[in-house]
Every structure is written in structure tokens, then in C-alpha cells.
């Protein structure tokens, strides 16, 4: 604890010394205090706590009906936009498929620079589309992970490449779509490839040089603690991908990183055991990567229910006692409350339709309903393969005490097939047939302490849009059908909408432009900026 | 036909490793059950992840549709399996080999129910039945008819006789993608039953059985009832004799568009 304080003081000092000389300096101290600087948007979720909540309150339930587009930036390439914007000191950083970073002027949408990474013709994307979810910023550089498995540092002002580091081989199905997280003097990055039989890891690189500082595998190797939860040598292709941005508690110096499904996804026969540390959250020491604790949401997952969803850090009163909690709406349909200091399980409750578990026991382990595993003939289970929610961000509002989650109400027939591992090929052992005829979606407000539903805003199809909440008393989100809209944060009543003309499959952000609150979202092949008249 | 030959020629030129004596220069429709079984094995391992184990879609689009926008012909489909679609779908290059790639393409092509069987009825009599029974009240053939249901101008290329027969006898079992039957109940005014043309979180468009388009604000509806698996088309099971059904199927199977 003493050391953290010292580091913060040093970083703050550095900011004072350099602040006058250099523009767009985003030292670590600003990232730590990002929640107190609502005019900018400095990390993937807006702050290390993963809350995607802004204290900006210029836009309110009273005036939101007059919200208008300020500008639209269209991209030239193919593929769906899934970027979360970073806004710092007069520039807005967005990413475009496949791995392009563009700095825009947030006042007018004009591009200032673009970094376009050419992709090899034999690029392997196994289990996900060609996309990128955003950059990290630290000091005078922005960082992007590439589909071909490379971490790139760019000059924040010009886009010049400062360094590149190969994270992992794309030939074996490794890829990066997530936004890195900058912490202290390091850039933390995870990896995709959970459908290709990779062995997952979280990496930290020196921000100045790109040198690997530490790597923590999400699946233990022979001789390591936890390998006994894998039959035979199945750990070697055990997956546990780390494909979404984690959260960070500077006071505890702990990173919280979700891990993905075990491999192969749907045939658990070849990997009997709990399969640690897949479908889990890991608490990692930010300096060394050492695992302080872990919590496995879905032991021996056979439905592809990754636990990569945003791990939200919130201080809540649980049973009359203030607790530092980690809360998350898991793909497996349960909402969890954990103690983020110790990893102690505090509470879980279903927040969407599910048929696979009778409940969660006092230790946090699901009581699995027999006969819900995939079969050669297909077995109907709720939720579907993509889960009750997926990577689009939830939001927690300390103002309302509500946890807003994009919900996917759908079941699937799960199939199991034989499977052989071949490097760089899908390693899944089955699949799904969606029960799409009665599928629907929602933005769902949950009591953050209990997970109990408070309201629904219903959508025609299972949502792929993240959620933003603000101190103005609003919740922003989107739909597959192109609606971008604002809801009353207390009641869920729709107050404003704009049809953007393409699927909203990204996370909204909000910040100030020339002193006025703006809201931005990427949709279809464009970035949209909204402001009051 | 000439165009098709040229496409195949271009495809053979592009991949000289494919000897002209192999099975892979045959049309995909010529695949037999063993070919399709091997194709299905590959499909399950490599494609089901995104397109669903039965082709009904998932992260990727459904493959149960009559035509593929990006693969108008056999060579186009095989090219996509090899090269992928930039930014959207990985290609498998030569990893599967020419023969297995052809088998995979044949399986994917078979997902739409076109099959390789031949219709046995009398298409001339089927054409008469099509006119007499009022099919044109809801379907277009060669530019004629009302477009409530799918355009049938090239249905013979897109669906096989078994599929067409089932679509006539049990239309609800063969509802095309996106054809959802709804009843919209406005707070004021009469309910409207019809095809859901469009729906987002704030607006619903319904085309009624008379062909009229209705636009509703979701906030102005008390209810939007979706009839899962329903079709606006009546069953012709009791309206056609077995022979007539066979003849109507033969007529539909003969519809091969203008090309």
C-alpha cells in the first residue's frame, strides 16, 4: 500500500513537471483519477473500475430529447465497428477493422492521423470477426493490439510507430481484438484464440520499450498447481483466452481479468475436471502478474460461456457491511458479487433465463442440472452459446445503485462432436443451433447488491450494444436494428432515440468538447457524435 | 451456360493443381451422399462455429438461404472457402485439399434444400394450377404477381422438389428467413395481422395480407404478438390431389429465372 502511494505521488510530480511542455500527456496519475476527470475518457471503460459511468450531468432527462448528431465519421474498410473511443486532450482515438487506429478531432470529426496495419493474406480468425475494440493511452503513446497478434505503440500526436512487439503467433490462432490496459509503466494485454486450442495468458509489456515484463498463463502447466483439474495432457490445448479488457484497483494493486472457455468448447469428455483457470476471474499483482486469488464462475464449462465480461469494481454495502466488491453479469446467466480483496464469494442470482443450474451453492459453485451438457443429437439449454450477455460493456451507476446490463434472451441446441487438435484450426468439438424464433433482448437494470431485476427496456433481438450511465440520470445504449437511445436511469423509460442506420455493436462514451457534454458511439461502419443544440 | 463454362475454366486456371480428371470439376449438385457426408464432417469442424451446426446462422449469417450474395455459382463458393471474405471470414486455403474443399462446398450448397433429385410431375399442368389456384396473389414469377411471399422466378434453382412439396403442404415448416408473422395491436384502432417487414426498438412495419404497409410506433402499441413458426400461406395439403401437388412442384422446379 505504501509503495502504491509513492508511485502515485511520483507520477503526479512528473505530470506537473512535463505538463507545461508537452500536450496530450496522460501520465499514470491521470488514469488512476480518471473518474474525477469526466471531461475526457482515458481507459476502455472510462476508469479502472470498469463502471462505464460518467459524472457529467449537462445532458439530463429534461433536455435529452433535443440531442442531435454533431458529426459522423465513416470508415472506408469492411467489417463491423466495435470500438470504444478514448478521448484525451483534444484528440479522439477510435479503431477500425481490421487493425486501424484513427485520431479524430472531436470538435468536427476530421481525421488527424491513421495507423493502418496491413494484414497477412493467411490471417487466422477462429471464432470471431475481424474487429478491434480500442486503444490504451499512457503518457504520449497509444497502444493497439493487432489481429495478427502484435502489440503496437504509436505516437499519440502523429501516429508514428514507436515500437512493435509480437505477442503470439497468429498461425496457431492467436489474435488480439481487445483494447489494452495501461497500468503504471506497463501495458497489459490479453489474447484471443479460445476456439483454436491456444493456452491463454495475460501479458504485461514495458510501455516505453515493448519488452515483456511478465506473462501469467490462465491454464497451469505440468507440475503447476491446478493442472490436476485437467485430464491427461488436455491442459496443453486448454484455451482460457483473455480477450477483453480487465479492471484494476490501484489501492490493492490488483488487476482483475476474466478468462474464456476451456478448449475444446463443447466436448468436455477430453478434458475431464474443473479446468482451472478457465471461465474464471483472476486477481493478478500488477507488478509481477502473480495470481493472488481466482474465482471460477463455471467449472468444467461445456457451453462456451467465457467469463471475459467486464469485471466491475464497486464499493457496496452487503449485509450491512461496506465491502470492496467485484460484480459481474456472467455469460452463464448469473450475476455475481465477490469480495475483490480476497475473492470470497458473497452472492449470486440469475438475471436472465437459464436452464443449466439449480442455483449457486454457498461457495459459489453452480449446482448443475443433470443432462444439460451438449449431445450428438443436440440438447436445448438456456442461455445460448453467446450467453445471457457477452463482451458489450455493462454500466454501474453509483447514483442509482443499479447495474445496467445488455441482455440476450435466447436458448440453443448444443451439439457435441469428436474433435482433434490441429494447430491453427478450429478446436471446438461441437456447435449450436440457435433457438432464434423466440429470442429477444433488453437493457436490464439490476439491483447491484442482489442482482434482482428493477426494469427492462425491451429490444427486438439479443443485444450486442454496450451501456453507458451518467450522473445526468441517463442510460445510453443501442440495438442490432440501429437504434441509439437514452433511457431514464431510474425508470428505464425511453427519452430519445436516433436511427444510425447500422448495427450498434460497441460501447458508448461521453466527455466534454469545448466545455459541452458529448456522447459518442460507433455503429455500422461509422462513428457518431451527439450533442445538445 | 457459356458463362458457367468460362467460370469453371477460370477456376481451373486459377488452381492448376486441380487436375481435370478429378471429381472436383463436376457441378456441386453432382455430389453424392458420401461426398456430402465428408463435407458435413468438415463443416462441423470448421464452419459450424459461426454458421450454426445446421447452417441456420450464429455469429455468421444463415446458409439456409436459396442464394448466396457472395457466391453466385459453384466456383464462387469454392473460392470463398479457400480465400475467405476479407474482414469477415477466414479462408482455409489448401488446408483441406481440392477434393475435400469441393465436398465441403457441396454440403454447404445442399443446406438450402435444393438437392439433386428431379421433379417427376407434369410442369405444364402445374403451370395451369399455379394460375387457377391464385398463387400469383402472393408470389411473383417473371415479374408478374404480388410480392407478399418470396419471388419464385428462380425457385427451381434454389430449392429442390422435396422442399417445394413440403412448403406447399406444410408452409409453416418452411418459413423463409425473416418472414415473421405478427399481430400489432394499437392502443386505438383495429389490430393488424401480417408480415413483419421491419422492427426496431421504436418502430414496427407490418404488411397486411392485402399488401398494405402499416407503420406503428412501439409506444403506440399495447402488444406486438409474434407467431413463432407461423406462415401466412395456407396449407395446400387438402386443396391439391397427390398428382396435382406433384405437377405444381414440377412447374416450380422448372422456374429457373432469366439467365
In this predicted structure, the answer to whether residue A445 has a pLDDT above a threshold of 90 is yes
- Using the Cβ of A171 and the Cβ atoms of chain B, whether some distance falls under 8 Å is answered with no
Tally Cβ neighbours within 10 Å of residue B106: 27
pLDDT-above-70 percentage for chain A: 95
In this predicted structure, the answer to whether residue B10 has a pLDDT above a threshold of 50 is no
- The continuous run of DSSP H or E covering A161 comes out as strand A161-166
* pLDDT for position B156: 85
Which residue in chain A is spatially nearest to B96 when comparing CA positions?
A: A425
Q: Over range B36-65, report the average pLDDT.
A: 85
Q: Over range B3-24, report the average pLDDT.
A: 43
Which residue in chain B is spatially nearest to A77 when comparing CA positions?
A: B87
For A125, residues 6+ apart whose C-beta sits below 8 A from its C-beta are A147, A175, B89, B90
Q: Indicate yes or no: CB of B202 within 8 angstroms of CB of A434.
A: no
* pLDDT for position B159: 83
> What does the pLDDT look like over A219-230, one tens digit per residue?
999 999 999 999
Q: Which residue has the higher pLDDT, B13 or A274?
A: A274
**Which of B52, B201, B219 lies closest to A431 in CB terms?**
B52
Q: Of the candidates A147, A92, A71, which has an alpha carbon nearest to the alpha carbon of residue A116?
A: A147
- Please report which confidence band the pLDDT of residue A77 belongs to, taking 50, 70 and 90 as the band edges: confident
> Of these residues, A274, A304, A315, A437, which one is catalytic?
A304
- Spans of all domains in chain A: 2-531
* CATH 2.30.30.100 boundaries in chain B: 181-227
Burial class (CB in 10 A: 0-12, 13-18, 19+), A66: exposed
Residues in a beta bridge with A49: none
In this predicted structure, the answer to whether residue B216 has a pLDDT above a threshold of 80 is yes
CA A262 to CA A242: how far, in whole Å? 12
**Which of B49, B199, B201 lies closest to A195 in CB terms?**
B49
CA A127 to CA A263: how far, in whole Å? 12
A249 is catalytic: no
How big is the CA angle at A31 (ends A28 and A37), to the nearest 5 degrees?
135
pLDDT-above-90 percentage for chain B: 49
* pLDDT for position B114: 65
In this predicted structure, the answer to whether residue B30 has a pLDDT above a threshold of 80 is yes
* pLDDT for position B115: 62
Query: Selecting from 3.40.50.300, 2.140.10.10, 3.30.420.40, 2.70.98.90, what CATH number does the domain A2-531 have?
Result: 2.140.10.10
**CATH fold of B181-227:** SH3 type barrels. (2.30.30)
Q: Over range B63-75, report the average pLDDT.
A: 82
- Using the Cβ of A457 and the Cβ atoms of chain B, whether some distance falls under 8 Å is answered with yes
Give the number of A-B residue pairs with CB atoms closer than 8 Å. 96
Q: Indicate yes or no: CB of B59 within 8 angstroms of CB of A494.
A: no
In this predicted structure, the answer to whether residue A215 has a pLDDT above a threshold of 80 is yes
Give me the interface pTM, i.e. the ipTM. Answer: 0.87
Interface test with B, best of A127, A196, A433 (most B CBs within 10 A): A433
In this predicted structure, the answer to whether residue B3 has a pLDDT above a threshold of 50 is no
Q: Over range A144-164, report the average pLDDT.
A: 97
Which residue in chain A is spatially nearest to B44 when comparing CA positions?
A: A430
In this predicted structure, the answer to whether residue A122 has a pLDDT above a threshold of 90 is no
- Please report which confidence band the pLDDT of residue B60 belongs to, taking 50, 70 and 90 as the band edges: confident
Query: Between the CA of residue B34 and those of B38, B39, B104, B257, what are the distances in Å?
Result: 6, 9, 11, 30
C-alpha distance from B124 to closest chain A C-alpha (Å):
37
Q: Which residue has the higher pLDDT, A123 or B217?
A: B217
In this predicted structure, the answer to whether residue A456 has a pLDDT above a threshold of 90 is yes
Q: Over range A483-499, report the average pLDDT.
A: 98
CATH class for the domain made up of B123-169+236-253:
mainly alpha
- Using the Cβ of A125 and the Cβ atoms of chain B, whether some distance falls under 8 Å is answered with yes
Task: Return mean pLDDT, chain A.
Answer: 94
* pLDDT for position B54: 84
C-alpha distance from B115 to closest chain A C-alpha (Å):
21
* CATH 1.10.760.10 boundaries in chain B: 2-110, 123-169+236-253
> What does the pLDDT look like over A183-211, one tens digit per residue?
999 999 999 999 999 999 999 999 999 99
Q: Indicate yes or no: CB of A433 within 8 angstroms of CB of B56.
A: yes
In this predicted structure, the answer to whether residue A10 has a pLDDT above a threshold of 50 is no
Residues of chain A with C-beta less than 8 angstroms from the C-beta of B54 = 433
CA A24 to CA A135: how far, in whole Å? 15
* pLDDT for position B22: 54
Q: Indicate yes or no: CB of B46 within 8 angstroms of CB of A130.
A: no
Homologous superfamily in CATH for domain B2-110 = Cytochrome c-like domain (1.10.760.10)
* pLDDT for position B8: 39
In this predicted structure, the answer to whether residue A413 has a pLDDT above a threshold of 80 is yes
> What does the pLDDT look like over A294-314, one tens digit per residue?
999 999 999 999 999 999 999
CA B61 to CA B64: how far, in whole Å? 9
How is the beta sheet containing B181-186 ordered, strand by strand? B213-217, B203-208, B192-199, B181-186, B221-227
C-alpha distance from A121 to closest chain B C-alpha (Å):
8
In this predicted structure, the answer to whether residue A84 has a pLDDT above a threshold of 80 is yes
Q: Give pTM, 2 decimals.
A: 0.89
Supply the DSSP string of A461-491, one letter for each residue.
S------EEETTTEEEEE-TTSEEEEEETTT
- Using the Cβ of A494 and the Cβ atoms of chain B, whether some distance falls under 8 Å is answered with yes
* pLDDT for position A20: 39
C-alpha distance from A53 to closest chain B C-alpha (Å):
23
Interface test with A, best of B50, B87, B88, B174 (most A CBs within 10 A): B87
Tally Cβ neighbours within 10 Å of residue A230: 24
Amino acid at each position: 500500500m505504501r509503495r502504491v502511494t509513492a508511485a502515485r505521488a511520483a507520477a503526479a510530480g512528473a505530470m506537473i513537471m512535463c505538463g507545461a511542455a508537452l500536450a496530450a500527456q496522460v501520465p499514470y496519475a491521470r488514469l488512476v483519477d480518471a473518474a474525477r476527470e469526466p471531461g475526457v475518457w482515458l481507459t476502455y471503460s472510462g476508469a479502472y473500475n470498469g463502471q462505464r459511468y460518467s459524472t457529467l450531468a449537462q445532458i439530463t432527462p429534461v433536455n435529452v430529447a433535443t440531442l442531435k448528431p454533431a458529426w459522423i465519421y465513416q470508415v472506408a474498410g469492411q467489417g463491423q465497428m466495435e470500438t470504444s473511443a478514448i478521448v484525451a486532450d483534444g484528440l479522439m482515438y477510435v479503431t477500425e477493422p481490421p487493425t486501424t487506429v484513427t485520431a479524430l478531432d472531436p470538435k468536427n470529426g476530421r481525421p488527424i492521423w491513421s495507423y493502418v496495419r496491413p494484414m497477412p493474406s493467411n490471417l487466422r480468425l477462429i471464432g470471431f470477426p475481424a474487429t478491434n475494440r480500442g486503444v490504451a493511452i499512457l503518457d504520449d503513446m497509444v497502444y493497439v493490439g493487432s489481429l495478427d497478434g502484435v502489440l503496437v505503440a504509436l505516437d499519440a500526436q502523429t501516429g508514428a510507430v514507436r515500437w512493435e512487439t509480437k505477442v503470439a503467433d497468429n498461425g496457431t490462432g492467436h489474435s488480439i481484438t481487445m483494447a489494452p490496459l495501461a497500468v503504471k509503466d506497463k501495458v497489459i494485454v490479453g489474447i484471443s484464440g479460445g476456439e483454436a486450442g491456444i493456452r491463454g495468458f495475460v501479458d504485461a509489456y514495458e510501455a516505453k520499450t515493448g519488452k515483456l515484463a511478465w506473462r501469467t498463463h490462465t491454464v497451469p502447466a505440468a507440475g503447476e498447481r491446478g493442472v490436476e483439474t485437467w485430464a491427461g495432457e488436455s491442459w496443453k490445448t486448454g484455451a482460457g483466452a483473455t480477450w477483453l479488457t480487465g479492471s484494476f484497483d490501484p489501492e490493492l494493486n490488483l488487476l482483475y481479468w476474466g478468462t474464456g472457455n476451456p478448449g475444446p468448447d463443447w466436448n468436455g469428455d477430453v478434458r475431464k475436471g474443473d479446468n482451472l483457470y478457465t471461465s474464471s476471474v483472476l486477481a493478478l499483482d500488477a507488478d509481477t502478474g502473480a495470481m493472488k486469488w481466482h474465482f471460477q464462475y463455471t467449472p468444467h464449462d461445456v457451453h462456451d460461456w467465457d467469463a471475459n465480461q467486464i469485471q466491475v469494481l464497486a464499493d457496496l454495502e452487503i449485509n450491512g457491511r461496506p465491502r470492496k466488491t467485484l460484480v459481474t453479469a456472467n455469460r452463464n446467466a448469473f450475476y455475481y458479487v465477490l469480495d475483490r480483496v480476497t475473492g470470497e464469494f458473497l452472492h449470486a442470482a440469475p438475471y436472465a433465463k437459464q436452464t443449466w443450474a439449480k442455483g449457486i451453492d454457498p461457495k459459489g459453485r453452480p449446482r448443475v442440472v443433470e443432462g444439460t451438457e451438449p449431445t450428438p443429437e443436440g440438447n436445448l439449454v438456456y442461455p445460448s452459446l453467446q450467453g445471457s450477455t457477452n463482451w458489450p460493456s455493462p454500466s454501474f451507476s453509483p447514483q442509482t445503485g443499479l447495474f445496467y446490463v445488455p441482455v440476450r434472451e435466447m436458448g440453443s441446441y448444443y451439439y457435441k462432436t469428436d474433435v482433434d487438435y490441429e494447430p491453427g484450426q478450429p478446436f471446438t468439438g461441437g456447435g449450436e443451433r440457435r433457438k432464434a424464433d423466440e429470442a429477444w433482448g433488453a437493457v436490464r437494470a439490476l439491483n447491484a447488491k442482489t442482482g434482482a431485476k428493477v426494469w427492462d427496456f425491451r429490444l427486438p433481438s439479443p443485444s450486442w450494444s454496450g451501456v453507458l450511465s451518467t450522473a445526468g440520470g441517463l442510460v445510453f445504449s443501442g440495438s442490432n436494428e440501429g437504434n441509439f437511445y437514452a433511457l431514464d436511469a431510474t425508470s428505464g423509460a425511453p427519452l430519445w432515440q436516433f436511427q444510425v442506420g447500422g448495427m450498434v455493436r460497441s460501447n458508448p462514451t461521453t466527455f466534454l468538447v469545448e466545455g459541452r457534454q458529448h456522447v459518442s458511439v460507433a455503429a455500422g461502419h461509422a462513428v457518431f457524435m451527439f450533442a445538445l443544440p | 451456360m457459356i458463362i458457367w463454362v468460362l467460370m469453371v475454366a477460370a477456376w481451373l486456371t486459377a488452381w492448376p493443381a486441380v487436375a481435370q480428371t478429378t471429381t472436383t470439376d463436376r457441378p456441386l449438385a453432382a455430389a453424392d451422399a458420401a461426398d456430402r457426408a465428408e463435407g458435413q464432417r468438415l463443416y462441423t469442424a470448421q464452419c459450424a462455429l459461426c454458421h450454426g451446426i445446421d447452417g441456420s446462422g450464429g455469429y455468421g449469417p444463415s446458409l439456409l438461404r436459396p442464394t448466396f450474395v457472395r457466391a453466385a455459382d459453384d466456383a464462387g463458393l469454392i473460392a470463398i472457402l479457400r480465400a475467405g471474405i476479407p474482414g469477415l471470414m477466414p479462408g482455409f486455403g489448401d488446408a483441406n485439399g481440392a477434393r475435400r474443399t469441393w465436398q465441403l462446398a457441396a454440403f454447404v450448397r445442399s443446406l438450402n434444400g435444393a438437392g439433386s433429385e428431379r421433379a417427376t410431375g407434369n410442369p405444364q399442368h402445374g403451370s395451369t394450377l399455379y394460375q387457377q389456384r391464385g398463387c400469383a396473389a402472393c408470389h411473383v414469377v417473371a415479374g408478374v404477381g404480388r410480392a407478399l411471399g418470396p419471388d419464385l422466378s428462380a425457385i427451381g434453382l434454389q430449392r429442390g422438389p422435396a422442399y417445394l412439396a413440403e412448403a406447399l403442404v406444410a408452409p409453416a415448416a418452411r418459413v423463409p428467413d425473416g418472414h415473421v408473422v405478427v399481430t400489432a395491436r394499437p392502443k386505438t384502432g383495429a389490430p393488424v395481422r401480417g408480415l413483419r417487414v421491419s422492427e426496431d426498438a421504436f418502430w414496427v412495419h407490418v404488411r397486411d395480407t392485402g399488401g398494405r404497409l402499416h407503420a406503428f410506433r412501439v409506444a403506440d402499441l399495447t402488444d406486438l404478438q409474434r407467431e413463432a413458426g407461423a406462415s401466412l400461406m395456407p396449407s395446400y395439403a387438402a386443396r391439391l390431389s397427390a398428382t396435382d401437388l406433384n405437377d405444381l412442384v414440377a412447374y416450380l422446379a422448372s422456374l429457373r429465372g432469366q439467365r
